[in-house]
Amino acid sequence: MNTARTRDHALAALHGLAIGDALGMPTQLLSRSDIANRFGVIEGFEDGPADHPIAPGLRAGTITDDTEQALLVARLLLEGDGHIDPDRFATELTLWEKEMAAKGSADLLGPSTKSAISAIAEGKSPQETGRTGTTNGAAMRIAPVGVATPHEPLDLLLDRVVEAGLVTHNTGLGIASAAAVAAAVSAGIAGATPQEALDAGQHAAKVGATRGHWIAGGDMAARIGWARTHVIGRGEAEVLDFTYDVVGTSVASQESVVAVFALAQHCVDDPWKAVRLAAALGGDTDTVAAILGAILGACHGTAAFPAEAAATVRDVNGIDFESLTDELLALRAR
């Protein structure tokens, strides 16, 4: 692979993650109609509304827990030479939440992660605390694993995905959802077309579902395939209605991660439009837009998003995307 191209697409995956996340910051947890009434069409970053339940008054361009935890995963990958120790991950997640709470933030751990960390505090092993985790927490923070790990051989990538989610999402559903995202990001960086990257994500979900503890729920790969097929050839309004009303945009991985693939299929050649539509969709908008931005950014490179959008999230949040990209790609090269 051309080194310059690889770096450009890896950088775009991290840019896209943060850009989508920041676009969804002021709209997260709001209904689709409420977002339309408050903001109209989402054209760019907005301040968090004063009455927002999680992000009141936050500056436009501010990231949320999605990117914050992805950066934590990236740091632990680098410290562990490509591996994430579950005990260390549990400790770092606990410290992260305490730091956020001390700052007055209400954007803390999601339900599966919160339950796992509480179980660890009660003395349970990190090897067992993720037995019921099925929400989108593992998927939302997995993009750095996709940057740092080739998608072929798939077993290697799945091993890294399992390590990154073991503490909180050690279920077939949790692993499948994170594997879908990691594989799509990794394939895009490796030179896959957007459709090939989505195919790689769908396949990884199928294989990833065989890992971890079984728990009842719709099959991730089957739902991704159904949603992708359904949106082909349909108009934007119909796609958005289908995604919001039928697929769903809650924190459940079977909804929000499937919604990502539906919107990615619909907007496969327009990442900037995709993340703005996701931010206006309602529900877990920051997570849907963040994952979508990471996948399509990996497929299209830094030209996928306006340069000023990438500069905004870098400057508002103080993130050195370039250095982080280089360090993660050094792991990938091994």
Encoding tokens for residue 320? 């050195």
Q: Is residue 65 part of an annotated ligand binding site?
A: yes
Q: Is residue 284 part of an annotated ligand binding site?
A: yes
- Whose tokens are 């003395």? That residue is 123
Q: Is residue 134 part of an annotated ligand binding site?
A: no
Which residues, other chains included, contact 118 with Cβ-Cβ below 8 Å and sequence gap of 6+? none
> In the chain, where does DSSP find H-type helix?
3-24, 32-39, 65-79, 86-102, 111-121, 137-140, 143-148, 154-165, 172-190, 194-208, 220-231, 236-242, 253-266, 271-279, 285-300, 307-317, 321-333
Distance (Å) of CA 217 to CA 17, 139, 169, 229: 27, 16, 14, 20
User: How far apart, in whole angstroms, are the C-alpha atoms of residue 148 and residue 325?
Assistant: 9
Could you tell me the sign of the dihedral formed by the alpha carbons of 130, 178, 317, 23, in that order? negative
Q: Is residue 81 part of an annotated ligand binding site?
A: no
At 171, is the secondary structure helix, strand, or coil? strand
* Phi, psi values for residue 71, rounded to 5°: -65, -35
Q: Is residue 66 part of an annotated ligand binding site?
A: yes
User: How far apart, in whole angstroms, are the C-alpha atoms of residue 78 and residue 60?
Assistant: 30
Peptide bond into 153 cis (omega under 30): yes
Which residues, other chains included, contact 244 with Cβ-Cβ below 8 Å and sequence gap of 6+? 32, 281, 282, 283
Distance (Å) of CA 34 to CA 26, 28, 59, 76, 280: 11, 11, 20, 38, 9
Binding-site members for Mg(2+) are 64-66, 284, 286-287
Q: Residues comprising the binding site? A: 64-66, 284, 286-287
